[in-house]
């Protein structure tokens, strides 16, 4: 961790959970941890403060945000060391063909550039084997090693050496002065920006044609510098290795120090003296004209209190060291030795993130004197700190090969002195202001052409620049980024028109880039600063949106020709703020806080900022607008705590928030919510180490299933369904793109899909609906595209029922998962005791089916497209489909549900009747009866049948009783003798025990009645006759 972060105290809690909990669940506990973390409680700058910043990027805040998004919840910090095995897995799988998939060897990713925008560059070397000094090697901190055979030729492109090294975070490169064919490349950026942890040193012995990794350096995670010094005719390697820590968790601290190898890198020995419990941490290594070696230190974080910075060491033999200079309170020290005079050494010293001092010696370190510091013409940069508080990050120094008093330095901008630092002249400005040439901000390395005072190369966050008249008072500069595609993109957007080569992409410190041409071509920076999420309205592409940090957006209403409308709220949201856009309603949604969602209405007219309350507990890390709800907005939201929410009517005055998180979902940061064939099919990914990263639901979040399978432990940034085959999924990960072809399997198999890509963090995937073109925005290798999903082959039929076995009187959905975009569907089901419901039919893509009887059904799907057809058959078991009904006949009760494989259990007044396991039972008591019918898959219970109010036959004799006709259609005739001549009654009940007819009878010897029942519905009824204290009942049917 850099001292900027460690020195700042904890701020107050920004967010508080509003939803009450009787007991804190794991997601709430994790939300509190994230909400209270020091990186979450940074105070946002006011708009006035933002405006006062001359260069509107914050690499420290980007690092902090990425730290929180990727930390292992069990450790409290990220675990990038786990990527080492992933790189090997990618290497083993690179040549495996996966037809029809972006990144397959037969469908490689196509690099799109930009060809004119570089990225953070810390390593530059003129090739010692080229006497013309036209060939140059450079290294990007996330984009790997490159070379250009002729930097003097504007049309000469940079060539990537190998995108599939186990690590492409290049920080230094050096040649062996005793053998010009041997080079060494160091990895791992140790300045606290968090771009990428390294994996040691790579070596070539054939001038860069082939490279091998030095196993002895595998644990050199952060190498600040590397040089090779001639010692007794041999090349001796010196590597400035730094350890990093967070919450007492160390990374590479065991190897911190100046590591020296005298055997070509087979073994290394640490040679710097100790400070406290371990050696000093080196920041910079320089070799003087007399071959002495000088080292500037930086703070070591081995102990609670950082120590050891601000020192300048020197040695004549590489093993015995002396302190030549010490700056009280100093931290990072950047050095420069004069190639023409070994007595001259300059030191640029940082303290508390600012330039503390520039000192020099002209007598080989016997005496050191302070010199003046540059004063930037940009008044947004303090006159006493030309780094603008970023000296921990951007700081460099170099001396003219032929004049020890001519020195170049850089932090935000570039400066030059011709009198040993008595005064400085500004020679560039980060946007070309104040009359100075435009050179990108954040200077990291300055290298003179061997022996030349006029030709100099400069590496910065914008890539590579060259001056051929550096000796003049006002040097000119040329951008050398042609083909040097190492841009760090956070996000991308694609134009809706089929075949269009128009994209937008937001980059770290390189604004939002506009792509307009096929292949690798130059781009146009349409908005500046740090670029974030961007959008092209898919229904009206005249509307386009780019973003700066937090809730700050730029809008174009003329198809990207200009972005003149700024919608600004820089006091809310995250640094690179998660955002999504409703293409149908033209509404922008973004993270605001743990209690609200930011909403900008009317993006195609007069934008109106209209946030709404949404108590999600912690900030949103992902938002996704559903494409299936078009007259209102259905918005899915994932949070830093791992929760997932569904918000309906998000465009309206009263949005409805539903938490669809279950206890199965892990804690961590939701990185993507991909919507499949409907809003019920969701794929949720997490960007943390140490958690299951991929989760799937097909019931709208009621149930979640892990789809981690054999996916390695690494951050997953984005996901994408193949529209031609929903069983295939792409993932954007920390190590390129991965895919599976069996997401519906309990354990999907994941493989790298990186042909044409690189071992690079992939931030986002986007797809165009009109032709299925896919783009991949990478953080270090620019933008890539693929049309693999656009090619259609003969379909492979596949479907899944929403339930099997089926139970209950409810329809099921047959969901099509066929590949290669079928154009027609035909469903056949046997036997034919079923019906399609809810407006679906046998030709629907995802029909709904209601089975009418129990049994086994065979379901067949035939799908067709222009290339052919295919079929798939599945068996579905249907259980009881409607609640059973009890009917009575004489002294027996009957269950209406009958069929093979059914079992029965009767109950009397709620008590199980032993051995009553058939569909019919004898009536034994006046009681309430129910029956439960079960199949192998389900069970149903009948409505109660009430005999308490109906009773049993108790007339002494049934002789002479006539009830006819039975079944009846209209009238029912009743005749029975009444020897006692008593009054009586006739009542008729339906099967629910309700009286549907009632009449009292007169006292007579014979009762005769004709009853009109034509108004009753068809079905079973029970007639009950009471004479005195006796009764008679009988079942009748209405036909």
Q: What confidence tens digit (pLDDT) does each residue in 832-861 have? A: 999 999 999 999 999 999 988 878 899 999
Write down the pLDDT at residue 22: 38
CA distance 15 to 35: 6
CA distance 415 to 395: 12
Write down the pLDDT at residue 1004: 76
Q: What Å distances lie between residue 920 and 833, 914, 941, 1018, CA to CA?
A: 25, 14, 15, 22
Write down the pLDDT at residue 777: 97
DSSP notation for 39-92: TT-PPPPPHHHHHH-SS---HHHHHHHHHHHH-BTTTTB--GGGHHHHHHHHHH
Average pLDDT over residues 593-614: 95
Q: How confident is the model at residue 886 (pLDDT cuts 50, 70, 90)?
A: confident
Dump pLDDT digits (tens) for 311-365.
Answer: 999 999 999 999 999 999 999 999 999 999 999 999 999 999 999 999 999 999 9
Q: How confident is the model at residue 895 (pLDDT cuts 50, 70, 90)?
A: confident
Residue 122: pLDDT over 80: yes
Average pLDDT over residues 103-123: 87
Dump pLDDT digits (tens) for 12-48.
Answer: 222 232 333 335 689 989 988 888 888 887 776 554 4
Domains in the chain (CATH in brackets) are 489-790 (2.130.10.10), 799-878 (2.60.40.10), 886-946 (2.60.40.10), 962-1038 (2.60.40.3080)
- Identify the weakest region by mean pLDDT among 613-622, 894-903, 913-922: 894-903
Write down the pLDDT at residue 195: 52
The helix, strand and coil proportions of the chain, stated in percent and rounded to the nearest 5, come to 5, 40, 55
Average pLDDT over residues 961-988: 84
Segment of 557-561, 567-571, 930-934 carrying the highest mean pLDDT = 557-561
Write down the pLDDT at residue 423: 96
Q: How confident is the model at residue 949 (pLDDT cuts 50, 70, 90)?
A: low
- In the chain, % of residues over pLDDT 90: 61
Write down the pLDDT at residue 198: 81
Cβ neighbourhood burial of 432 (10 Å; 0-12, 13-18, 19+): exposed
Dump pLDDT digits (tens) for 267-287.
Answer: 999 999 999 889 999 999 999
Write down the pLDDT at residue 16: 30
Average pLDDT over residues 368-373: 97
Residue 260: pLDDT over 50: yes
223 contacts: CB under 8 Å, gap ≥ 6? 171, 172, 186, 187, 188, 190, 198, 200, 201, 239, 240, 241, 242
- Beta-ladder partners of 688: none
- Identify the weakest region by mean pLDDT among 15-29, 62-76, 450-464, 479-493: 15-29
Dump pLDDT digits (tens) for 416-442.
Answer: 999 999 999 999 999 999 999 999 999
Write down the pLDDT at residue 807: 76
- Beta-ladder partners of 763: none
Write down the pLDDT at residue 399: 98
Residue 459: pLDDT over 90: yes
pTM: 0.72
Average pLDDT over residues 168-180: 94
Q: How confident is the model at residue 470 (pLDDT cuts 50, 70, 90)?
A: very high
- Identify the weakest region by mean pLDDT among 117-131, 455-469, 859-873, 1015-1029: 1015-1029
Q: How many CB atoms lie within 10 A of CB 981?
A: 12
CA distance 185 to 83: 19
**How, if at all, do strands 892-895 and 920-922 pair?**
antiparallel
Write down the pLDDT at residue 111: 92
Which one has a higher pLDDT value, 42 or 573?
573
Average pLDDT value for the chain: 88
């Amino acid at each position: 961790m850099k001292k900027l972060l460690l020195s700042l105290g904890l701020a107050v809690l920004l967010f508080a959970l509003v939803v009450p909990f009787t007991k804190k669940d794991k997601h709430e506990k994790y939300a509190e941890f994230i909400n209270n973390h020091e990186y979450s409680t940074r105070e946002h700058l006011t708009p006035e403060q933002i405006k006062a910043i001359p260069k509107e990027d914050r690499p420290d805040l980007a690092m902090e945000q990425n730290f929180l998004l990727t930390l292992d919840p069990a450790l409290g910090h990220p675990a990038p060391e786990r990527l080492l095995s992933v790189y090997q897995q990618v290497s083993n799988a690179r040549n495996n063909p996966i037809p029809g998939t972006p990144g397959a060897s037969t469908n490689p990713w196509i690099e799109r550039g930009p060809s004119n925008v570089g990225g953070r560059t810390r390593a530059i070397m003129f090739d010692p084997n080229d006497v013309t000094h036209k060939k140059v090697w450079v290294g990007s901190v996330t984009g790997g090693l490159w070379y250009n055979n002729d930097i003097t030729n504007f049309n000469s492109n940079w060539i990537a050496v190998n995108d599939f090294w186990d690590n492409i975070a290049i920080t230094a490169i050096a040649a062996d002065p005793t053998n010009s064919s041997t080079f060494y490349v160091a990895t791992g950026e140790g300045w606290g920006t968090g771009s990428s942890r390294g994996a040691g040193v790579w070596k070539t012995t054939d001038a860069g044609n082939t490279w091998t990794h030095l196993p002895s350096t595998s644990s050199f995670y952060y190498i600040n510098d590397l040089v090779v010094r001639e010692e007794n005719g041999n090349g001796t390697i010196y590597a400035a290795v730094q350890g990093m820590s967070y919450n007492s968790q160390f990374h590479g601290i065991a190897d911190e120090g100046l590591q020296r190898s005298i055997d070509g890198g087979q073994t290394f020995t640490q040679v710097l003296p100790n400070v406290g419990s371990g050696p000093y941490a080196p920041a910079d290594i320089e070799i003087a004209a007399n071959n002495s070696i000088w080292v500037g230190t930086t703070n070591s974080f081995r102990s609670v209190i950082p120590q050891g910075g601000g020192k300048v060491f020197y040695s004549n033999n590489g093993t015995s060291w002396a302190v030549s200079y010490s700056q009280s309170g100093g931290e990072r020290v950047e050095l420069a030795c004069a190639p023409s005079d070994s007595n001259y050494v300059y030191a640029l010293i940082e303290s508390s993130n600012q330039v503390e001092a520039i000192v020099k010696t002209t007598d080989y370190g016997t005496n050191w004197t302070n010199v003046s510091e540059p004063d930037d013409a940009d008044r947004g940069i303090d006159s006493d700190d030309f780094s603008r508080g970023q000296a921990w990050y951007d700081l460099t120094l170099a001396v003219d090969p032929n004049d020890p008093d001519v020195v170049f330095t850089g932090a935000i901008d570039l400066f030059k002195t011709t009198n040993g630092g008595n005064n400085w002249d500004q020679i560039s400005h980060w946007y070309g202001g104040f009359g100075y040439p435009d050179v990108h901000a954040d200077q990291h390395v300055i290298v003179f052409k061997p022996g030349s005072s006029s030709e100099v190369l400069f590496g910065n966050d914008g890539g590579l620049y060259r001056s051929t008249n550096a000796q003049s008072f006002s040097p000119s500069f040329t951008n050398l980024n042609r083909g040097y595609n190492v841009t760090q993109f956070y996000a991308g957007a694609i134009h809706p028109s089929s075949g269009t080569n128009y994209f937008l992409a937001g980059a770290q410190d390189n604004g939002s880039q506009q792509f307009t041409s096929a292949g690798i071509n130059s781009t146009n920076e349409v908005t500046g600063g740090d670029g974030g999420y961007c959008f092209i309205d898919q229904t009206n592409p005249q509307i386009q949106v780019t973003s700066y940090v937090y809730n700050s957006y730029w809008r174009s209403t003329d198809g990207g020709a200009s972005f003149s409308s700024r919608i600004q709220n820089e006091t809310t949201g995250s640094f690179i703020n998660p955002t999504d856009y409703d293409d149908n309603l033209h509404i922008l949604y973004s993270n605001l806080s743990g209690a609200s969602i930011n909403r900008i209405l009317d993006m195609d007219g007069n934008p109106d900022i209209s946030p709404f309350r949404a108590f999600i507990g912690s900030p949103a890390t992902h938002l996704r607008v559903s494409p299936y709800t078009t007259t209102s907005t259905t918005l899915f939201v994932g949070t830093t705590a791992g929760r997932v929410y569904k918000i309906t009517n998000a465009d309206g005055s009263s949005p409805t928030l539903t938490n669809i998180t279950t206890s199965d979902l892990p804690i961590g940061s939701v990185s993507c919510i991909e919507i499949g064939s409907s809003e019920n099919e969701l794929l949720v990914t997490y960007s943390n180490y140490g958690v299951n990263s991929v989760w799937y639901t097909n019931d709208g979040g009621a149930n979640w299933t892990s789809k981690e399978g054999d996916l390695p432990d690494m951050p997953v940034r984005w996901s994408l369904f193949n529209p031609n085959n929903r069983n295939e999924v792409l993932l954007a990960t920390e190590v390129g793109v991965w895919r599976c072809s069996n997401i519906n399997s309990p354990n999907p198999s994941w493989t790298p899909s990186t042909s044409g890509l690189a071992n690079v963090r992939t931030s986002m995937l986007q797809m165009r609906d009109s032709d299925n073109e896919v783009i991949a925005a990478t953080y270090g290798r620019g933008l890539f595209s693929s049309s693999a999903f656009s090619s259609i082959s003969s379909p492979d039929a596949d479907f899944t029922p929403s339930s099997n076995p089926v139970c209950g009187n409810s329809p099921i959905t047959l969901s099509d998962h066929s590949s290669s975009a079928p154009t027609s569907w035909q469903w056949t089901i046997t036997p034919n005791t079923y019906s399609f419901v809810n407006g679906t039919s046998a030709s629907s893509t995802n029909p709904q089916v209601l089975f009418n009887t129990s049994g086994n059904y065979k379901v067949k799907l035939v799908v067709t497209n222009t290339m052919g057809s295919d079929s798939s058959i599945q068996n579905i078991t249907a259980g009881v489909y409607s609640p059973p009904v009890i009917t009575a006949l004489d002294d027996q009760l009957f269950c209406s549900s009958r069929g093979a494989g059914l079992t029965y259990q009767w109950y009397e007044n709620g008590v199980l009747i032993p051995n009553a396991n058939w569909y019919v039972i004898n009536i034994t008591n006046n009681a309430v009866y129910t029956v439960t019918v079960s199949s192998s898959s389900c069970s149903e219970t009948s409505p109660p049948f009430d005999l308490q109010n109906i009773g049993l036959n108790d007339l002494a004799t049934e002789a002479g009783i006539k009830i006819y006709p039975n079944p009846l259609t209209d009238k029912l005739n009743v005749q029975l003798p009444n020897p006692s001549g008593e009054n009586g009654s006739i009542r008729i009940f339906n099967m629910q025990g309700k009286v549907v007819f009632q009449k009292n009878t007169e006292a007579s010897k014979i009762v005769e009645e004709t009853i009109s029942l034509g108004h009753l519905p068809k079905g079973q009824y029970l007639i009950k006759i009471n004479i005195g204290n006796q009764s008679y009942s009988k079942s009748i049917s209405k036909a």
